[in-house]
Every structure is written in structure tokens, then in C-alpha cells.
Amino acid sequence: MYDQVGQNKRRTIVLMVVFVLFVAVVAGAFAFVFKLGPVGIVFALIFAGVSGFVGYWKSDSVALAMSRAKPADRQEYARLYNLVEGLCIASGLPMPRLYIVDDVAPNAFATGRNPKHAAVAVTTGLLEKMNRVELEGVLAHELSHIKNYDILVSTLAVTMVGIVALIADLAIRFLWWGGGRAFGDDDRNGGGPQAILALVGFVLLLFAPIIAQLMQFAVSRNREGLADVSGVEMTRYPPGLISALEKLRDDQTVVHSASRATAHLWIESPIAREKEEGKLSRLNRLFDTHPPLDERIAHLREL
């Protein structure tokens, strides 16, 4: 397990670089397709660098705002503070900021750039539906994401995927309203390398959101199981998290403020995945960021 944690920390750096480079490539393709010239290419590189910098420092605020999370009052949510403080003392972690999402669906996520600048958000539904040992198991899972430095790349992915989707959306809109004039007369009549590169750039812009989503999968899926095991090691009580995951599996409610951009942050997919949960369940399953809960439960039972 410790070897896997070390590998994930190294992969975090690689994934961060890949995300920033991908934003640069997509922004560069936008500049090339719309003939913005060398200035546009330079602007694309600067834009990617600024996006990465802002994403590093502010992605947690973006994720919390998108989830409509509010700071948790210490007196009102004394049990939550008590459990998190106990787990932090036992694991040697600094106390994260705690937030509440007013939603009946039981769920939780961690965000931030490092253990000293981290936050944990839980829904009101989680607090209502979980008993003490189940809630402790969920919180230990989220604190494990913080301890394993999963939160950095997971939170950065929120802004990076959003930026890529925004660039691609702008490109499609400009091409639609411009009637295809962005390629220019030379490209249409003369063909050659310029036309080929323009076509490649257009295809990249068209498929960029899908590629970004696939990169998002690489961030989250293999880290959830590791956080489960790390969380159990933190609590020393596997039945707590197992029972919590069973409740999450059986619950049919979805988090209303969640989206595919932030879905990978939560302990369990917060968007509709089954037919009875919503109309977009089939599409959401194609972009599922979490391994099946039954699979995660089976792995924990083997401990």
C-alpha cells in the first residue's frame, strides 16, 4: 500500500504537468484554427501557465463554490468536528477546514492543494443517515485522500477540465457563427500543410472535452480503492467504512449541486447512474469516475 501511495504522489506531478500542457495545446489549436498568428500562440502558452497557477491556488475554492458548500459551524456540527479532530490527531494530519453541503444525498469530498491547505465537505444527508462509526469511516476515507496527496491533482482537474470544455465550446460557437471562415480562403482553395493542420486543430478542439474527461478518469478511479484501505488503516475498523459504502450503494438520491466536472472528488459518484435516479444516467455511466461500490466493498471485506 505504501508503495502505491508513493507511486500516486509521483504520478500527481506528472498528471499536473500533462493537464497544463494539454490546456496549452488546446489553446494553441484555437489560436491556429482562428488564425491569431504568433501572438495568439504566445497568448495560448501564457493562458495555460496562468490557468495552472490559478488552478493550483484557487481550485479548492472553485470546487467548494460549485458544490455550494458552506463553512460548518463548530457548535452546530460538534460531532463532525469531534470525529475529524480525533482522526487527525491519530494520523498526524493538520485539521482541515470543514464545510457542509445542504443536500439530502449522503456524500462527501476532500479538496485542497496539500494537507496544510485542505478542506472536507459533507452533505447534510450524510450526517443524518450515517451512525458514528460509519461517518468516521467516510471521514477517514476523505482524510486519506489528503494524506496521500490525491486532493492536489483531483482539485486541479476541476478547473483544467472546465477550461478545456470552455475553449472547445467557444471554438464550436465561433465556427458555427463564422460559417467556417476561420479556415480562410487559402486553406480551402490551396490545401496543403496549412489546411491539414487547421483540420487537425479543429478535430482536437472537437474532441478536447472527451480527452479531458478521460484524463479525469486517470486521476480518480485507482485512488478510491487506495483511500478506502488507507481509511480503514486510520480507523482500525473495516466494518465502519463497509457499512457506510453499503448505505451509499443502496441510496438512490443524487447530489443536486454536483456535476461531471466535480464528480471525481466525491466518495461515491454524486450524479445519476441508474435509470431511477435520473434521465442522464446512461450518459453518466459512460463517464463514470468511480469503481463500482460492490467491488470496493468486496476488497475491504478481504482485509
**Number of domains composing the chain:** 2
Question: Which among 217, 232, 252 is the end of a domain?
Answer: 217
Q: Looking at residues 296-303, what average pLDDT do you find? A: 91
Query: Among residues of the chain, what percentage have pLDDT more than 70?
Result: 81
Per-residue pLDDT of 179-225, as tens digits, reads 455 555 555 444 556 666 667 777 777 777 777 777 776 666 678 88
The verdict on whether 233 is a catalytic residue reads no
Q: Are 205 and 167 in contact (CB under 8 A)?
A: yes
Lowest mean pLDDT among 71-80, 205-214, 272-281, 289-298: 272-281
Of the pLDDT bands very low, low, confident and very high (cuts 50, 70, 90), residue 1 is low
Whether residue 213 sits in one domain with residue 157: yes
User: CATH code at 81?
Assistant: 3.30.2010.10
Grid coordinates representing 112 are 485542497
Whether residue 278 sits in one domain with residue 181: no
Distances (CA, A) of 235 to 99, 143, 162, 212, 275: 21, 11, 35, 35, 35
Whether residue 196 sits in one domain with residue 284: no
Whether residue 235 sits in one domain with residue 122: yes
Distances (CA, A) of 46 to 97, 164, 182, 205, 259: 32, 15, 22, 18, 28
Whether residue 44 sits in one domain with residue 161: yes
Per-residue pLDDT of 93-118, as tens digits, reads 999 999 999 999 999 999 998 999 99
In terms of average pLDDT, the best of 90-99, 146-155, 170-179 is 90-99
| pTM strictly above 0.85 | no
Whether residue 198 sits in one domain with residue 74: no
Whether residue 252 sits in one domain with residue 133: yes
**pLDDT at residue 147 in the model:** 92
Q: Are 219 and 159 in contact (CB under 8 A)?
A: no
Average pLDDT, the chain: 82
Question: Which among 217, 236, 269 is the end of a domain?
Answer: 217
Whether residue 166 sits in one domain with residue 112: no
Catalytic: which of 142, 276, 277, 295? 142
For residue 265, count other CB atoms closer than 10 A to its CB: 28
Q: Looking at residues 251-259, what average pLDDT do you find? A: 84
**Which domain range does residue 138 map to?**
68-149+221-301
Question: Which among 173, 199, 217 is the end of a domain?
Answer: 217
Start-to-end CA distance of the chain, whole Å, equals: 12
Q: Are 26 and 161 in contact (CB under 8 A)?
A: no
**pLDDT at residue 82 in the model:** 97
